[in-house]
Amino acid sequence: MVVQTMTKTDTRDVAATVAQIRDLEGRGCEMVRLAVKDLPAAAALKSIRAEVALPLVADIHFDPRVALASIAAGVNKIRLNPSNIRDPAAVRDVAAAAKAAGIPIRVGANLGSMDPNLEPSARAAALADEALHEAALLEEADFHDIVVSVKSSNVREMVEAVRIVASKTDYPLHLGVTEAGPLRQSLIKSSAGMGALLLDGIGDTIRYSISGSPLWEVDAAWTLLTQLDLRVRGARIVSCPTCGRCEVADMLGLVNELERRLGEIHKPVTVALMGCVVNGIGEGKVADVGIACGRNAGILFVRGKPVRNVAPAEFVDALISEANRL
Residues in the site for ligand SF4, rule: CB under 6 A?
240-243, 245-246, 274-276, 278-280
- Find the helix packing angle between 155-168 and 120-140, rounded to 10°: 40
Long-range contacts of 156-159 (CB under 8 A, 24+ apart): 156/124, 157/111, 157/120, 157/123, 157/124, 157/127, 158/193, 159/193, 159/196, 159/197
Give the nearest distance from C-beta 286 to ligand SF4 in angstroms. 13
Give the nearest distance from C-beta 313 to ligand SF4 in angstroms. 19
Give the nearest distance from C-beta 277 to ligand SF4 in angstroms. 7
Measured from the CB atom, the residue of 68 and 291 that comes closer to ligand SF4 is 291
Measured from the CB atom, the residue of 95 and 272 that comes closer to ligand SF4 is 272
Residues 57 and 32: beta-carbon distance below 8 Å: yes
CA distance 280 to 299: 9
Residue closest to 1 by CA, chosen among 210, 209, 201, 216: 201
Give the nearest distance from C-beta 318 to ligand SF4 in angstroms. 18
> Parallel, antiparallel, or unpaired: how do β-strands 298-302 and 289-293 relate?
antiparallel
Measured from the CB atom, the residue of 140 and 250 that comes closer to ligand SF4 is 250
Measured from the CB atom, the residue of 217 and 283 that comes closer to ligand SF4 is 283
Give the nearest distance from C-beta 245 to ligand SF4 in angstroms. 4
Measured from the CB atom, the residue of 208 and 301 that comes closer to ligand SF4 is 301
